[in-house]
Homo-oligomer: A and B are copies of this chain.
Amino acid sequence: MGKGATTRSHILQCAVETACLDGFEGLNLQPLADKAGLTKSGLYAHFGSKQSLQLAALGRAAELFQQTVVAPAKTEPAGLPRIEGVFDRWLQWPGSAGLPGSCPFFAAVHELDDAQGPVRDRLVRLFREFQQVAEQLVASAVRHGHLRAETNPTQFAHELLGIRYAHHWSASFMHDPNAHARTRAAFARLVGRGRTA
């Protein structure tokens, strides 16, 4: 990796860490330059605006999510074990990727729900892509006979996201010691009620 690419990668790592703590709206050039050990003009040479930095940071966060949460499914047995694996890793994200704080995508939903523009559009596309991955995993589990034939993959993926959201609320916000047990029970019922008898 050349010096320019190394610096760019270092800036993006700092940017994703910042987004986990302060959201993508928290990505201001001067504080990020300070964190990355650069001058503002040095950072500006790589990302000429807050928006281009936000878009690049979203892309980098998505790569980390893909590597940490989704990609390991390839080596897991097809069907329900892959859904369980992805869900387990999703619960541990973003800490499992070495990131501080909490899921930057969830935070960004609430930062950007009333916004317009390319950052929001990009995040919508990233969620759609992940929901499609989840739907494909559910459809595969149906084909393998691990879930009932009438399981609706889109509905299943939607409810899975709700369970993950409630986990964020109870674990990261409420600090409920039973958060993990609640999440496990909700997941077991989502899967169990769709499982072939």
Contact = CB atoms under 8 A, between A and B. Distances in A.
A193 B189 contact: yes
Contacts of A113: 101-102, 107, 168, 172-173
A170 B112 CA distance: 13
B162 A186 contact: yes
Contacts of A44: none
Contacts of A165: 162, 165-166, 169
A193 B185 CA distance: 13
A185 B114 contact: no
A21 interface: yes
A74 interface: no
A102 B115 CA distance: 12
Interface stretch (A5-13, A56-64, A153-161): A153-161
Nearest to A131: B174
Interface of A: 21, 23, 101-102, 106-107, 109-114, 124, 127-128, 152, 154-155, 158-159, 161-170, 172-175, 178, 182, 185-186, 189, 193
